[in-house]
């Protein structure tokens, strides 16, 4: 049981390049999330998904796209990277909110992205 895994762990991009971050979970969770974490700020929600084939915008969605083609995978795409997207990206998953306390989020180890 690997929990939540993220690939890659590190990446350096040049401005304008594109890339996809992959998140995978093996806990059969319905909900999946992408966050970014910047110094001095709390985790900010980029996009989330409440189930296979569905996605929704979070607090800071601009410049990012996501897809949830399979229940266990959640992809985060940067079409044209900008220096402002330099950050640490965390993926998380959880059961649905209707499960009460079972809505604990389990986080991946993070991806450190630098955009030059």
Task: Please report, as ranges, the residues that interact with another protein according to CB under 8 A.
Answer: 4, 31, 33, 40-45, 48, 50, 90, 92, 94, 96-97, 100-101, 103-110
- Minimum Å distance from CB 104 to another protein? 5
Instruction: Report the residue number, 11 or 107, with the smaller CB distance to another protein.
Output: 107
- Is 10 exposed, middle or buried, given 0-12, 13-18 or 19+ CB atoms closer than 10 A? exposed
Instruction: Report the residue number, 15 or 99, with the smaller CB distance to another protein.
Output: 99
Q: What is the DSSP letter of 53?
A: T
Neighbours of 64 (CB within 10 A): 19
Q: For residue 11, give Cα distances in angstroms to 68, 78, 111.
A: 22, 12, 8
Contact call for residues 53 and 74 (beta carbons, < 8 A): no
Instruction: Report the residue number, 33 or 64, with the smaller CB distance to another protein.
Output: 33
- Minimum Å distance from CB 96 to another protein? 7
- Minimum Å distance from CB 16 to another protein? 28
């Amino acid at each position: 049981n690997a929990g939540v895994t993220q690939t890659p762990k590190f990446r350096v991009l040049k401005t304008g390049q594109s890339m996809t971050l992959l998140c995978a979970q093996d806990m059969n969770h319905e909900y999946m999330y992408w966050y970014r974490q910047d110094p001095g700020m709390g985790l900010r929600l980029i996009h989330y998904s409440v189930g296979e084939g569905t996605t929704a915008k979070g607090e800071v969605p601009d410049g990012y796209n996501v897809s949830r083609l399979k229940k266990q995978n959640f992809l985060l795409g940067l079409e044209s990277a900008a220096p402002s997207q330099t950050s640490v990206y965390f993926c998380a998953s959880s059961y649905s909110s209707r499960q009460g306390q079972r809505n604990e989020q389990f986080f991946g180890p993070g991806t450190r992205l630098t955009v030059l």
